Amino acid sequence: MNIIVTGASKGIGKAIAEKYAVEGNTLLICSRGEKSLYDTVNELQTAYPNSIIKGMSCDMANKEEVLVFAEWCLKFGSPDILINNAGQFIPGSIHDEAEGILEQMIQTNLYSAYHLTRALLPAMIQKSAGHIFNICSIASLNAYANGGSYSISKFALLGFSKNLREELKPKGIKVTSVMPGATLSASWDGFDIDPNRIMEVNDVSEMIFAASKLSSMAVVEDIVMRPQLGDL
């Protein structure tokens, strides 16, 4: 299978890529950080030689770069699975966060998925098959302290995902919205977090992998995950 994962050099994205690499798939991954991206490509290719791991540096907040990445992906054929994982978390409050944070969050967390999906959909529709996972957040469901523009962007991403699901029902393409709670990833760097109060990235990748294995007659529309002791 051809599987595209954005923001795959670390955290949830890397865990997802590794989960599919075990099976011997073609993995097309991207990340803004070139060194960390190609370190991940080399690491996964060495560990899983039966898979094909390719990477392209891409700032997913930049529409032009997203479209170049999409064109590159299509050279490998129509995607079987697209995982819109790239995102950014900047905590803050609407009333006092820095100017431009909303635009930054929307570009990174919403427009990235919107533009990449639109560029890849014609090939998927032509094949009448495929599965799109949009990595939203618990912040897509409820307001919370210091959510600010991040939460706004994730609410919008969930709206995008819900509409996409409705549109693609008759076209044979599945859409799943994934809402993870606090997960041990780079988003939490600098925070003093009890590891017993936060999920592991593999928890998220396992759920996505399982949801992608259902028959063509079934789809998991929403995956909501929280730490066992509840939200932070």
**Catalytically annotated residues:** 150
Please give the backbone phi and psi of residue 183, each rounded to the nearest 5 degrees, phi first: -130, 135
Pair of tokens at residue 51? 């898979």
- Residue 80 structure tokens: 């079987």
**Residue reference for tokens 């991940």:** 40
Asked if 4 and 73 touch (Cβ cutoff 8 Å), the reply is yes
The rounded Cα 231 to chain-centroid distance in angstroms is: 20
Helix axis angle for 112-127 and 148-168, nearest 10°, is 10
Residue 205: CB atoms within 10 Å: 21
Measure CA 107 to chain center. 14
Q: Which two tokens stand for residue 71?
A: 């064109």
Report the C-alpha gap between 52 and 173 in whole angstroms: 24
Element (H, E) at 201: helix 201-211
Q: In angstroms, how far apart are the furthest CA atoms of the chain?
A: 51
